């Protein structure tokens, strides 16, 4: 990225402060890295290309010897990055994610780094549309629902191909995610995986009613309808209309019903 105005726009929209530790993914030649350091933030840049990773500290040092002290560079695949790889945990994520790994990388980082409170990602325009889509919209799908498990999502406009070199064939989109200050639901891995499983089921056949979509999971169509109604969801609704809160509520009500059924069975055995 070589356009200074676009770089300033991204940094401004990200809301980065000097107290932040920014995890930057895909720093490339370092134009965005420099802007983040100019904000006074600590930056850990993760670059998969070994040549770019080696060059980045030199590029930063050539511009400012003081800022290099706040930069760490890791030559890693972002999909394998874990909290133990970092000395200090990040509070913000700024990422330029390629199309083929954008959603898996974003979900991985949100899951593994709960200290990240704000996210600004630049992705291919169609991925940005899917991430920020609302329930019932044509672009709403699995990524839209899963990313909202972690926080609020909103678009921050488009980025022209002309600001990059080499020039790509597609537009990019900016998406900001703000993690919930207090999560409305449990955030442990086991609960998250169960919710994500329901999301996958709900979108596996988009045109099916929820009653039919969740029939195998519930054990039968009638049981599926009962669980949906217990979660205040019309069984005739399609999965593509369900918000993240609906999937969470469906799981919670189903778990509560299973727990109650187990208690009743225990009482029968005792008597």
Exposed e or buried b per residue across 105-137, where buried means at least 16 C-beta atoms within 10 angstroms of its C-beta = bbbbbbbebeebbbbbbbbbeebbbbbbbebee
Residue 66 CB coordination number (10 Å): 8
Which residues lie below 8 Å from residue 213, measured CB to CB, with a gap of 6+?
201, 202, 204, 205, 224, 238, 239
Collapsing DSSP to helix, strand or coil, 264 comes out as helix
End-to-end CA separation in angstroms for the chain: 73
Give the bridge partners for 209, in sequence order.
238
Residue 88 annotated as part of some ligand binding site: no
Question: CA angle 92-55-91, nearest 5°?
Answer: 10
Residue 96 annotated as part of some ligand binding site: yes
Residue 47 annotated as part of some ligand binding site: yes
Structure tokens at 255: 């778990």
Position of tokens 């208690």? 263
Structure tokens at 232: 């205040």
Q: Torsions phi, psi of 19, nearest 5?
A: -85, -5
- Residues within the annotated binding site for S-adenosyl-L-methionine? 1, 26, 47, 77, 96
- Residues within the annotated binding site? 1, 26, 47, 77, 96
């Amino acid at each position: 990225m070589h356009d200074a105005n676009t770089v300033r726009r991204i940094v401004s929209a990200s809301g980065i402060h000097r107290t932040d530790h920014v995890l930057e993914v895909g720093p490339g030649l370092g134009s965005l890295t420099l802007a983040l350091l100019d904000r006074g933030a600590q930056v850990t840049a993760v670059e998969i290309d070994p040549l770019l990773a080696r060059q980045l500290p030199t590029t930063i040092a050539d511009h400012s010897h003081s800022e290099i002290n706040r930069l760490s560079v890791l030559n890693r695949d972002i999909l394998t990055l874990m909290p133990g790889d970092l000395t200090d945990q990040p509070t913000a994520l700024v990422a330029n994610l390629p199309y083929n790994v954008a959603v898996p990388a974003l979900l991985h980082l949100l899951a593994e780094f709960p200290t990240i409170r704000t996210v600004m990602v630049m992705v291919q325009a169609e991925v940005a549309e899917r991430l920020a889509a609302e329930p019932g919209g044509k672009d709403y799908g699995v990524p839209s629902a899963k990313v909202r498990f972690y926080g609020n999502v909103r678009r921050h406009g488009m980025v022209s191909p002309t600001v990059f070199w080499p020039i790509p064939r597609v537009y990019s989109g900016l998406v900001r995610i703000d993690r919930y200050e207090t999560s409305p639901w449990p955030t442990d891995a086991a609960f998250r995986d169960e919710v994500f499983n329901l999301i996958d089921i709900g979108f596996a056949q988009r045109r099916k009613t929820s009653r039919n979509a969740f029939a195998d999971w519930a054990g039968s169509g009638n049981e599926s309808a009962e669980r949906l109604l217990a979660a205040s969801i019309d069984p005739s609704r399609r999965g593509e209309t369900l918000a993240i809160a609906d999937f969470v509520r469906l799981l919670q009500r189903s778990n509560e019903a299973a727990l109650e059924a187990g208690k009743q069975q225990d009482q029968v055995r005792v008597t």
